[in-house]
Structure 1
């Protein structure tokens, strides 16, 4: 099996390999109810190629008014996204997560938090990049992404030109891009690739990547890393 496929999907979309999981077994009845009852209302707009083959940009003012918009790439179980939404009602936050079990977990947390400044795309962030207007995002988060530890799989990581180039396009000049990971080789690749894509690393000393951000909430992925003896790294970049 190789990573090579035709350049386009039968729908006309570019062929984009996806290597993670879309769903695991065992959605609880309550989680299925969250998906059935809440997800559609939180849609950021027409993102899929089937619904939007012309790739018409999303109407962000129609979605969030004049609020700044943040983007979380792969929100996992949603702890950080809900925390930021509740703490920053003056912004709008779009979260992208293809793993439907994680989406269900987020929706459950949103019910308890009663945050109304979020939009959820249950799919690949690359499709979201297609329909976000240029220079429309004020801050982006990439928190504990899939490490793809085998060397031959490093091109599947987010910190590659396929993802970083459109991320740079949709971020506003000066926008902040935060990356958290507990994998040293992911740190290496991040520090190599992100600056080449038009970002400046903001660290001035070791504490800038050893200490979490002031508004940070530790996620379940971070807690697992700490239990297993891996050190988190907190990398902050600015879109040049």
Structure 2
């Protein structure tokens, strides 16, 4: 279904899920007030950039390859990758403000300087990312929306995968981690339909984590509750 358009020109996009949780600590409010603006990737919001002028990727990370983490949760994986790969820039998207505050604290602690943070909907960021500008993307333990009537809310749907494919460079890698078997099914059905090839050749390729993997708090919860993680690797073709 085509996006409806608001009077301000922005497409009407339903958002599902929480944008805020429990009360932030004083230190977390400080991170948001002091650090978030400086770490913004640029004019992403419609109010700031109604013409949807593409981001200046050269100016953002000085010409380094750019990776994207969609829904970074508490930020532990994103900061780990930033510290492990100082030669790349990483943009993280997360609408849940408590998670953004957690990430900012981890960035301070780790001292990494190759990150940018969009505290909002990934679809708005896709609007302003140049074609073929992303060299690697991560979708780690996305909201499973377990009820069948809510499966259209999952990230692995055309509404999200079409713009994701557009912004990823040929040969770019997409990593998806989930502990929900039906999410695996939908991922394997939908992602290859949108210009990606699944790289698995043997069971170990989806049962074992990546060599540079950093387990997240969501994965630890899944393991405690007896669910098996799946690690899916795709390549943009």
- Fold similarity call, TM over 0.5: yes
Q: Contact between 1:181 and 1:187, CA under 8 Å: does it hold in 2?
A: yes
User: How many residues are aligned here?
Assistant: 237
Tell me which residue corresponds to 1:223.
220
TM-score (norm 2): 0.98
Gaps of 5+ in 2: none
Q: 1:144 to 1:37 in 2, by over 3 A?
A: same
1:83 aligns with 2:80: yes
Residue number among 113, 117, 123 corresponding to 2:114 in the alignment? 117
**Secondary structure, in 3 states, of the residue corresponding to 1:31?**
helix
Residue number among 40, 43, 46 corresponding to 1:46 in the alignment? 43
Q: Which moved more, 1:17-26 or 1:221-230?
A: 17-26
Distance 2:226 2:3 in 1: 42
Distance 2:54 2:228 in 1: 39
Q: Contact between 1:5 and 1:15, CA under 8 Å: does it hold in 2?
A: no
Q: Contact between 2:177 and 2:231, CA under 8 Å: does it hold in 1?
A: yes
Distance 2:2 2:68 in 1: 29
Tell me which residue corresponds to 1:64.
61
1:154 aligns with 2:151: yes
1:138 aligns with 2:138: no
Q: Deviations over 1:8-56 (max 9, x none)?
A: 1232110000011000121000000000000000000000000000000
Q: Contact between 1:135 and 1:173, CA under 8 Å: does it hold in 2?
A: yes
Residue number among 34, 39, 43 corresponding to 1:37 in the alignment? 34
1:73 aligns with 2:82: no
Distance 2:173 2:143 in 1: 21
Alignment of 1:175-194 (within 5 A): 175-194=172-191
Q: Contact between 1:201 and 1:237, CA under 8 Å: does it hold in 2?
A: yes
1:232 aligns with 2:224: no
Gaps of 5+ in 1: none
Tell me which residue corresponds to 2:21.
24
CA RMSD across the alignment? 1.1
Distance 2:148 2:119 in 1: 28
Structure 1 residue 87 displacement after superposition: 0.5
Q: Deviations over 1:177-218 (max 9, x none)?
A: 000000000000000000001100000010000000000000
Structure 1 residue 6 displacement after superposition: 7.6
Q: Deviations over 1:89-124 (max 9, x none)?
A: 000000000000000000000000000000000000
Runs of 4+ in 1 over 3 A off after TM superposition: none
Q: Contact between 2:3 and 2:13, CA under 8 Å: does it hold in 1?
A: no
Alignment of 1:199-210 (within 5 A): 199-210=196-207
